[in-house]
Chain A
Amino acid sequence: MKKVFVTILAVMFCNGLYADSFWGYVRDSQTGENLIGAYIYTSNNQHLTTTSSYGFFSLKAEITDTIIASYVGYEKFILPIKNIKCPYIILMSPSASIEEVIVTTDIYDKNDFSSDYIRLPIKQIQTMPAIAGESDLLKSLQAMPGFKFVNEGQSSLVVRGGAPDQNMIMIDDVPLYYLNHLGGFVSAFNTDALNDVQAYKGNFPAKYGGRLSSVIDVRTKDGNTNQMRGKATIGILSSKFMVEGPVKKDTCSYFLSCRRFMYDLLSRPITYLFNNKMQSGYSFYDLNAKINYMPNNKNRFYLSFYSGNDKLLSKFRERKDDNITMKNISKWGNTLGSLRWNHLYGSALFSNITVYAMRYNYSSTFEYSAKTDDGVSQKSNFSSLIRDFGMKSDFSYIPNNRINLLFGTNTVFHYFNPNNYSYYQSSVDTSAHIRTDNPQKQRDSEWALYLESKITPIKFLSLYGGVRTNIYKTNSKTYNDIEPRVTFEIALPYGMVFKSNYSKMSQFVHLLTYSGTYMPADLWMPSNDIIPPESSEMISSGLYKNIPSVGIDFSIELYYKKMASLVELKEASNLNKLSDEWYESVEKNGTGEAKGIEFLIRKSEGRLNGWISYTLSKAIRTFENFNNGKAYPYTNDATHDVSIVVNCKLSEHYTASVEWNFLTGRAITLSNKRYTAVNLQIDDNGMPNLNYQTVSTYEERNSVRMKPYHRLDASISYKKHKKRSGREITVGVYNLYNRQNPTYYYVSGDNKNRSVYQRCLFPFIPYASYTWIW
């Protein structure tokens, strides 16, 4: 038995030793950007690989073979191996033709058309219709099977019955905590700054961990290494500016993009003039910057920076002589910086080392001062702070075409101060000075080691085996976890592939939310002695079929996910208080189940492209102290979910895009009973007295279904590029047939007549934007 095993291993590792190694990078010939997920295959269709997140590939092939590189939207690249000196940089040119570009190989990497894994081209995101014309990465993902929105118009994601905080969303390998602006209506990702998006809703590679439901790996642009380019957009919601170019041609480049919400520039002076010296305003911005440096073909360095913040301000000077002032400023957002080093060790081993620092902060400060006889000055601050310092090392070893070994480590040092309230008071009377501070600091560390390999022992069978070990160390407790990730895939007749996988995930930080989505007042909390990490196990199986001659792929996938140790905020809890330890507000040890079947037909190339997706699913939650311990439908449980997206290149200059969505009404908790409540108020005689009023409450969670949701969006873009500059005009309509989709319901009326009312927030909304490109 031992001999057989050794022989198999020897055959697998020695396979292809007679062949030549062909390795290098695939990049855009105009911008020098890495092309992630490009296909590299031999002309005889015997060998195939795809480029990694850094554009790297390694392929063993015969010396007599011809290599073909292909990527959607680019001209095919063909070169005989004998002419190649490695590491070779394949420079691919964008396709000028509007005709269909079909890759005719029939040995597509099966992973690429798995419905567990989605790659959304940035161009497609930018052409999809969106509210106010603000193209949005996360909202585009909502149109894919398995992904759902939390509330209409919002960019928070629910993936296969998981909560929004169970999605690991990373920008250049650094996880983000706060993902939205404008109350969740705009995501933190400026599409001008993005290069590639890969989303996993199951079957997670072992290199990813720390969240239960999905991983969305966002890569920003590296910067044009050939020439300086720029772009400026004036939109209804925000205005954007982007510039990129070489510092030293083909060696060093920079990228800078900025997006800002502009209305506060108007609202602050207007409110000051017309509201008795009171200024108020709201703004957000995103800033992405990157420098990439390639001293040679074996080394590459990236220095990335991202800052995205929201600010809500109101300032007031009460008296004419400005003796009384009030200032209320709330700020929240992420700031991060990362340094990455790519290194190539010969033809088969590639490494990426990342060092990063990330800061998430929510702060609300209120100041009052009176220059009166008392001289009272008071200041309070509520803040929630997370600081992460992390280091990752990822290695990819490709000894031959049958084995791809991935391994690495991930270390993160967390600093949490999640619920910090401070108060300061000073006055002329020094005995009345107060200084209160209640930091609830916690320093944790997270250690992970992973090993993963794709092995293809025979042509029709591939095995992916991976394991990730996690150690999460809190102040006084250490959690250990081993997460296996297993996938096997079998090539079936008629070009079909069957795939089945199992994965286990853990999550060490939790979002305690009032709203169910990411809001500034929602707090990220770490696991501790009392709150254990959340965990999930998922099995999924799917059947995939690719028809390369027409560029269509088709998939059906079933999944079952079980979640444990889930947490929720307790009923009527108020986190922003100094008096409570935060974990006293947490309902813990919840369980969840999600199951479903997903269909996807996608045509990702050609003049006419798009997809049709359908999901049939069910998701439930059980908490001991909610719903009398009975299971209840999860908030975002929608039985049927249909999306149809069609993009059409009408001519050289015009592109049209249409999107239709249908969703079964969400499960909501609507009050079903009312009673009389009392509180103390001043009565008509100026005395404190009791006041009675009717209030509403409910018995069962999520026992009411909203009406079905559906809407049609359409947009048309005009693009014209001249030699040195170009322009792009987009006009579109959100909710074309003005469907009054309910955002929420409420019961209203007096003691004689009571009815249910619905409110729609997004009726027919036209939009336009103008972009200048140079």
Chain B
Amino acid sequence: MVRTVCLFCCFCCFCACEKETELEIPDSHEDIVVNCLLQANKPFDVYVGKTLHELDTSELYVNNAIVCVATCSTKETDTLIYHANGHYKSTREKIWVEGETYSLSINYNNKQAVAMATVPTTVKFDNYSISNTFLGRDGFDTRTITVTFTDAAETENYYMLFLSWCSIDTLPFQGYVKNYEWYSYSPVIVSEGDEYTDLFSDVLFNGQTIYIPMNFHFWNYNRFYDLKYRVKCYLVTVEKSYYEYCKSLKFNRENQKNIWQTNAVPQIKSNIENGFGIFSGINITDSIIVIL
């Protein structure tokens, strides 16, 4: 009897508490979804989709929308052509211009969604420094690249930092690192969420020169092969709309399975009028290459 009770207790304590269940989810309305980030030296590429019910497994993209982009200063309009998988591209090799504002209009299924975006200005790295190799917190060889740049005081600015590295020899097993493989203990980064955050505002250093230490680890191959590495850092300036969109996107994802979450899963911010998604300018303004 005692054994049975003990076994029952153990079973109950360790039994799976996550399971598929039946629950009625309310119907949803269809809305236009627009995703477009104006990027350096790239033509307009606009993704147009629609919202679906959570359990609907149909395709999310739309291939029969009318997509128009207009330059606000010159009133020049370009109607984009459907390419594939919901992507609409410019007929001309039109490249965006820094500081210019563009308007986007989508017509689909008797609905219209509109948005505007401005391409942010360029910011250059001032300097950088590299630490010696040390054993990082995850047990890998780690180095710190501390990048420095100066923020413009008169405006609210938003930045992204990216880092990738690869062997200077093109060995097939060494691809580029993903962005989440670098981390920073800088409070500028950590205050935005955690040490893996790549998106931050100038709120803490408005108009000042800021140091961002970026730690990255690489596999211990150089202990055996004495390889050289090429590390590339990108500085990207983004619009406030994209910053808020990304923050809410992260917040939305983090709260999907939150045990303390009793309010709604946060909505994702959008600058699309009558729709969802984002139309925003980004500017990959500078990059540095370091050989290690």
Q: Which residues of A contact B (CB under 8 A)?
A: 150-151, 154, 183-184, 275-278, 316, 318-320, 324, 326, 328, 366-368, 370, 372-374, 376, 378-380, 382, 421, 423, 425, 427, 429, 431-432, 434, 436, 513-517, 519, 571-572, 574, 576-579, 635-636, 666, 668-682, 684-688, 690, 692, 694-704, 707, 738, 740, 742-747, 751-761, 763-766
B33, closest chain A residue (CB): A675
Assess A671 versus B265: contact at CB under 8 Å? Given A423-B205, A436-B204, A676-B33: yes
Within the complex, the shortest CB–CB distance from A285 to chain B, in Å, comes to 22
Q: Is the CB of A374 within 8 A of B211?
A: yes
Q: Is the CB of B15 within 8 A of A320?
A: no
B99 at the interface (CB under 8 A from A): no
Q: Is the CB of B262 within 8 A of A150?
A: yes
Within the complex, the shortest CB–CB distance from A725 to chain B, in Å, comes to 31
Assess A671 versus B129: contact at CB under 8 Å? Given A434-B204, A684-B176, A743-B259: no
Within the complex, the shortest CB–CB distance from B84 to chain A, in Å, comes to 13
Chain A residues near B203: list those with CB within 8 A: 421, 436, 577-579
B256 at the interface (CB under 8 A from A): yes
Chain A residues near B51: list those with CB within 8 A: 673-675, 697
Which residues of chain B from 204 to 237 have any CB-CB distance to chain A below 8 Å in the complex? 204-206, 208-211, 213, 215, 232, 234, 236
Q: Is the CB of B26 within 8 A of A699?
A: yes
B155 at the interface (CB under 8 A from A): no
Contact of B54 among A277, A673, A680, A753 (CB under 8 A): A673
- A692, A702, A753 pick with most chain B CB within 10 angstroms: A692
Assess A686 versus B176: contact at CB under 8 Å? Given A316-B137, A680-B236, A754-B55: yes
17 residue pairs of the A-B complex, CB under 8 angstroms, read A150-B262, A151-B259, A275-B137, A319-B134, A324-B131, A374-B146, A380-B188, A571-B264, A577-B201, A579-B156, A669-B264, A670-B265, A697-B51, A698-B267, A738-B12, A755-B20, A760-B18
Q: Is the CB of A572 within 8 A of B263?
A: no
* A343, B25: Cα distance in complex, Å: 62
B4 at the interface (CB under 8 A from A): no
Q: Is the CB of B282 within 8 A of A680?
A: yes
Within the complex, the shortest CB–CB distance from A249 to chain B, in Å, comes to 49
Within the complex, the shortest CB–CB distance from A97 to chain B, in Å, comes to 34
B32, closest chain A residue (CB): A675
Q: Which residues of B contact A (CB under 8 A)?
A: 9, 12-13, 15, 17-29, 31, 33, 35-37, 39, 45, 47, 49-57, 59-61, 86, 129, 131, 134-139, 142, 144, 146, 148, 156, 160, 162-166, 175-179, 185-188, 190-191, 201, 203-206, 208-211, 213, 215, 232, 234, 236, 238, 244, 246-249, 251-253, 255-269, 276-278, 282, 284
Q: Is the CB of B187 within 8 A of A366?
A: yes
* A100, B53: Cα distance in complex, Å: 61
A702, closest chain B residue (CB): B264
Q: Is the CB of A676 within 8 A of B61?
A: yes
* A745, B54: Cα distance in complex, Å: 13
Q: Is the CB of B262 within 8 A of A763?
A: no
Chain A residues near B45: list those with CB within 8 A: 690
Assess A746 versus B211: contact at CB under 8 Å? Given A578-B204, A756-B25: no
Q: Is the CB of B57 within 8 A of A753?
A: yes
Q: Is the CB of B53 within 8 A of A677?
A: no
* A276, B156: Cα distance in complex, Å: 39
Q: Is the CB of B139 within 8 A of A276?
A: yes
Q: Is the CB of B160 within 8 A of A680?
A: yes
A368, closest chain B residue (CB): B185
Chain A residues near B210: list those with CB within 8 A: 425, 432, 434
How many inter-chain residue pairs (CB < 8 Å) link A and B? 323
Chain A residues near B211: list those with CB within 8 A: 374, 376, 378, 425, 427, 432
Q: Is the CB of A572 within 8 A of B260?
A: no
Q: Is the CB of B55 within 8 A of A695?
A: no
Chain A residues near B12: list those with CB within 8 A: 738, 763-764
Chain A residues near B266: list those with CB within 8 A: 571-572
* A703, B27: Cα distance in complex, Å: 10
Q: Is the CB of A692 within 8 A of B35?
A: yes
* A421, B203: Cα distance in complex, Å: 10
Q: Is the CB of B186 within 8 A of A759?
A: no
Q: Is the CB of A763 within 8 A of B15?
A: yes
Q: Is the CB of B17 within 8 A of A752?
A: no
* A636, B37: Cα distance in complex, Å: 40
A275, closest chain B residue (CB): B137
Apart from A429-B209, A436-B203, A704-B26, what 17 extra A-B contacts exist at CB < 8 Å?
A183-B260, A318-B136, A372-B129, A380-B190, A434-B204, A517-B260, A673-B51, A674-B60, A675-B49, A682-B163, A686-B176, A695-B268, A743-B259, A744-B259, A751-B59, A757-B18, A758-B23
Within the complex, the shortest CB–CB distance from B19 to chain A, in Å, comes to 6
B22, closest chain A residue (CB): A756
Contact of B164 among A578, A676, A686, A690 (CB under 8 A): A686
B17, closest chain A residue (CB): A760
Within the complex, the shortest CB–CB distance from A687 to chain B, in Å, comes to 8
Q: Is the CB of A678 within 8 A of B18?
A: no
Q: Is the CB of B164 within 8 A of A682?
A: yes
Chain A residues near B59: list those with CB within 8 A: 751
Q: Is the CB of B129 within 8 A of A373?
A: yes
Chain B residues near A432: list those with CB within 8 A: 148, 208-211
Q: Is the CB of A682 within 8 A of B21?
A: no
Q: Is the CB of A571 within 8 A of B18?
A: no
Chain A residues near B204: list those with CB within 8 A: 380, 421, 423, 434, 436, 578
Q: Is the CB of A759 within 8 A of B262?
A: no
Q: Is the CB of A635 within 8 A of B267?
A: no
Chain A residues near B236: list those with CB within 8 A: 680, 688
Q: Is the CB of A574 within 8 A of B28?
A: no
Assess A682 versus B49: contact at CB under 8 Å? Given A434-B208, A696-B54, A696-B256: no
* A576, B49: Cα distance in complex, Å: 33
Assess A318 versus B134: contact at CB under 8 Å? Given A682-B179, A697-B276, A756-B20: yes
* A368, B277: Cα distance in complex, Å: 36
* A753, B20: Cα distance in complex, Å: 12
Within the complex, the shortest CB–CB distance from A253 to chain B, in Å, comes to 40
A740, closest chain B residue (CB): B17
Q: Is the CB of B264 within 8 A of A515?
A: no
* A635, B282: Cα distance in complex, Å: 39
* A668, B263: Cα distance in complex, Å: 7
Q: Is the CB of B259 within 8 A of A276?
A: no
Within the complex, the shortest CB–CB distance from B265 to chain A, in Å, comes to 6
Chain B residues near A434: list those with CB within 8 A: 204-205, 208, 210
Q: Is the CB of A276 within 8 A of B208?
A: no
Q: Is the CB of B260 within 8 A of A674?
A: no
* A432, B151: Cα distance in complex, Å: 11
Chain B residues near A759: list those with CB within 8 A: 17-18, 257, 259
Chain B residues near A666: list those with CB within 8 A: 262
Chain A residues near B60: list those with CB within 8 A: 674-676, 694, 751
